[in-house]
Amino acid sequence: MSSYLSCDEFGPVYVREKGELRCVNGTVHTRKLSPSQIKPFRLFQKGFSVQLCIEDGAAKPTNTRKKDHFIFTYTKEGNLRYSAKSLFDIVLIFVAENVQHLESLVGFPDQMAEKLFTAAEEKQKFLDPDIGLRALQTFSNAYGNLVLRSLCLRNRFLLVSEKLEEIKLFRHLRSLDLSGCKLGDDHELLEHVASESLCSLVQLSLADNCLSDHGLRKFTAPVRVLKRGLGNLELLDLSRNPIISERGIGSLSCFSKLRGLDISVTGVKLGASVLKLLKDKMGLIRADSPLEEFCHSSCRTEGWAEQVVHQWDSLISESTKPRANLQPRTNALRFYGKEKTLRKLFKAPSVEGSREENDRETVQFHKPVQMPAPVDTGCLTRDVSHKGKKRVVASPQEGRGDSQPSAKRQCATQLTLQDWELLNSY
């Protein structure tokens, strides 16, 4: 290499230090050379070769070489400084790029796994249908509710349809909100929720899901028949399901730990039989005011996969965003005389507004707090007065055990100063 790495074959090399530009190899050219002696500068070194590779742009390479192993910063003088990343960060980026090849993370520390999950989420690995599914399964099998312990899918029926398999991987949820998803009685997600996969579920919202009595009986069948499934369920929201009647409510008695139920805006008629059924079989009474447990503003997605769910939602929202320019459609409606009808329709009260008005009359039930057993105060007063009389009236023959301590106490109180000095002398 020394044969072609001489300074004569290269031009001057400049280095910028502390804001000043200086030539490193300028001392070599101090002597004046004639134009015939000056050799042309080489753009490339000797032995340089170029290999032309035609790559298919449609096919993405499986192993992409990353060049982000350096951190570039500027000093106070304005110099560009770079430093290599730590070996841990380099390895973390590499594993995050190939997270789909992980077989198991059981026994791996939680802190390291959280950093790995965050790095994979920043690389948007969970957006890919194949890679994301395998990666989520690996993390969920190893860390359970750390990946996701609470999931809010309120009014996200498109997300439920697109990411159903990924949602079914979260098997350690304690809170699940499916209100407004229009699932119906025979949806696959309802079967998954009612199965043994979500036995840790404590709070569930199925409001506004077009459920009927048949759907409720089917939903509670694993608990009623097989004694499996939602045995730990404590809060259940069935509001805004107008097809549900008293027959469907009777099948909820299998939830022995249920302490809160919301059946607002349903077909249930609050008669004496329904109130007695809820009180006798489930121990629930009607609440005088709306319960805080059914306030949906407190429900949110919590866990490592919180940002992953937001990425899914953003991706689906972008794909279903309507066109910005709807002028041709407006012109067509104006031509056919339907514009006035649409104006009346837009001025009419919305369905959501009517639902909010109906929701004002909440029908919620809760299990009252168990108070301590009532104590008969009359017996206590009689006992106290009786004991007081014994202490005052009782003679030494009737209660020798009680009279001796009182005598000792009387003696102790009658000690004089001379007696105390005598006791202190010992």
What pTM was estimated for this model as a whole?
0.64
pLDDT tens-digit profile, the chain (426 residues): 444 445 455 667 777 777 777 777 765 444 555 666 656 555 556 555 555 555 554 444 444 455 566 776 777 777 777 777 788 988 999 999 999 999 999 999 999 999 999 999 999 999 998 899 999 999 999 999 999 999 999 999 999 999 999 999 999 999 999 999 999 999 999 999 999 889 999 999 999 999 999 999 999 999 988 888 898 999 999 999 999 999 999 999 999 999 999 999 999 998 899 999 999 999 999 999 999 888 877 789 999 999 999 999 999 988 887 666 555 666 665 555 555 554 554 444 444 444 444 445 789 999 887 645 455 545 444 444 444 444 444 444 444 444 444 444 444 445 677 667 766 765
Residue 220 contacts residue 194 (beta carbons within 8 Å)? yes
Phi-psi region of 180 (alpha: psi -120 to 50; beta: other; left: phi over 0): left
Are the C-beta atoms of 154 and 176 separated by less than 8 Å?
A: no
Give the C-alpha separation, 377 to 217, whole Å. 48
- DSSP per position, 252-270: GGG-TT--EEE-TTSS---
pLDDT score recorded for residue 403: 43
DSSP 188: H
Q: Are 209 and 184 in contact (CB under 8 A)?
A: yes
At 226 the pLDDT is 86
149-302 carries CATH number 3.40.630.30 = no
139 neighbors 169 (Cβ within 8 angstroms):
no
**Nearest Cα residue to 318 out of 189, 163, 158:** 158
pLDDT at 105: 94
Angle at 215 between CA 210 and CA 220, to 5 degrees: 130
